[in-house]
């Protein structure tokens, strides 16, 4: 067992000669909230896409709890324990809030129910459905969304859609949760609310969190350690305070 939940080794990808990311080494400890920051186009979301199997890395590899996940499909990586949210929210818009979370519970061992059992409406089907619903409501309660469980996802206000996406990701029982700009477009009140929720997650769910964020106040308030990217490469790494005061980082953000 590796001491790190996520470890990447020289992870990188190039598209037609363009190196979107290269030589990225991350080591994230269990229970950490880890930040990934950098200017626009620095390759942050690309790293997320590599870690979730949307893209296949052209160089390097990555491990989750010591198990190599390179070249696995997106579904498989999710089964192994990496879940994510998206920069531009991707919910199942025509489904209710509750059903969105229940899709997240789909692959859990305790909610196994074969297609034949569902088609024949065997007792297990009803039991699993009932338990899934109860579990989904529990998760929604943490995010304070349980009152909206019957609303269609597309009818939720923006801040709640973001939360629902996190709830859905969390329902898949991940070891590592990737949050892509969770506070984007939120007002200060919602951001504060989100910060509390993320901290609550760490306490209640035994999950490690890697997040991308532009709101440096949010990052410094919540992250234990961060990595700063620019032009696809790491320019600084360390505790939040250290990294943010690095001259390279200040140069990348403010210019000379």
Q: For residues 16 and 255, which CB has a smaller minimum distance to another protein in the complex? A: 16
Rounded CA-CA distance 192/183 in Å is 9
Phi, psi of 231 (to 5 degrees): 50, 40
How distant is the alpha carbon of residue 220 from its chain centre? 18
Helix axes 158-171, 188-205, angle to 10 degrees: 10
Rounded CA-CA distance 179/52 in Å is 12
Query: Does 228 sit near another protein (CB under 8 A)?
Result: no
- Within 157-176, which residues bind another protein (CB under 8 A)? 168-169, 172
- Within 12-41, which residues bind another protein (CB under 8 A)? 13-17
Query: Does 123 sit near another protein (CB under 8 A)?
Result: no
> Beta-strand (E) ranges in 38-111?
59-64, 67-68, 82-84
Angle at 45 between CA 43 and CA 214, to 5 degrees: 85
Q: For residues 3 and 75, which CB has a smaller minimum distance to another protein in the complex? A: 75
User: Nearest distance from residue 94's CB to another protein, in Å?
Assistant: 5
How distant is the alpha carbon of residue 174 from its chain centre? 9
Contact criterion met (CB below 8 Å) for 11 and 59: yes
Query: Does 106 sit near another protein (CB under 8 A)?
Result: yes
- Within 60-99, which residues bind another protein (CB under 8 A)? 73-75, 78-79, 83-84, 86, 88, 90-96, 98-99
Among 8, 49, 227, 230, binds another protein (CB under 8 A): 49
The residues that touch another protein, with contacts defined as CB under 8 A, are 10, 13-17, 45, 49, 52, 54-59, 73-75, 78-79, 83-84, 86, 88, 90-96, 98-99, 102-104, 106-107, 111, 113, 115, 118-121, 125, 128-129, 132-133, 148-152, 168-169, 172
């Amino acid at each position: 067992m590796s001491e790190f939940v996520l470890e990447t080794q020289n992870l990188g990808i190039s598209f037609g000669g363009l190196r979107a990311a290269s030589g990225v080494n991350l080591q994230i400890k269990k229970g950490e909230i880890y930040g990934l920051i950098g200017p626009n186009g620095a390759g942050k979301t690309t790293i997320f896409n590599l870690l979730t199997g949307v893209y296949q890395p052209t160089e390097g590899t990555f491990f989750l709890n010591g198990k190599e996940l390179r070249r696995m499909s997106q579904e498989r990586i999710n089964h192994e324990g990496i879940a994510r949210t998206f920069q531009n929210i991707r919910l199942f818009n025509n489904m209710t809030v509750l059903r969105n979370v229940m899709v997240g519970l789909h692959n859990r061992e305790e909610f196994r129910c074969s297609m034949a059992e569902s088609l024949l409406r065997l007792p297990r089907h009803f039991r699993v459905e009932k338990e899934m619903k109860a579990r989904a409501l529990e998760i929604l309660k943490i995010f304070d969304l349980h009152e909206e469980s019957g609303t269609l996802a597309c009818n939720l206000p923006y801040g709640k859609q973001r939360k629902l996406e996190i709830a859905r990701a969390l329902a898949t029982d991940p070891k590592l949760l990737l949050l892509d700009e969770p506070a984007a477009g939120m007002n200060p009140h919602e951001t504060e609310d989100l910060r509390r929720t993320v901290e609550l997650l760490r306490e209640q769910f035994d999950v490690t969190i890697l997040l991308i964020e532009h709101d440096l106040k949010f990052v410094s308030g919540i992250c234990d350690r961060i990595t700063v990217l620019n032009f696809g490469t790491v320019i600084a790494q360390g505790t939040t305070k250290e990294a943010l005061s690095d001259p390279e980082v200040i140069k990348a953000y403010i210019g000379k």
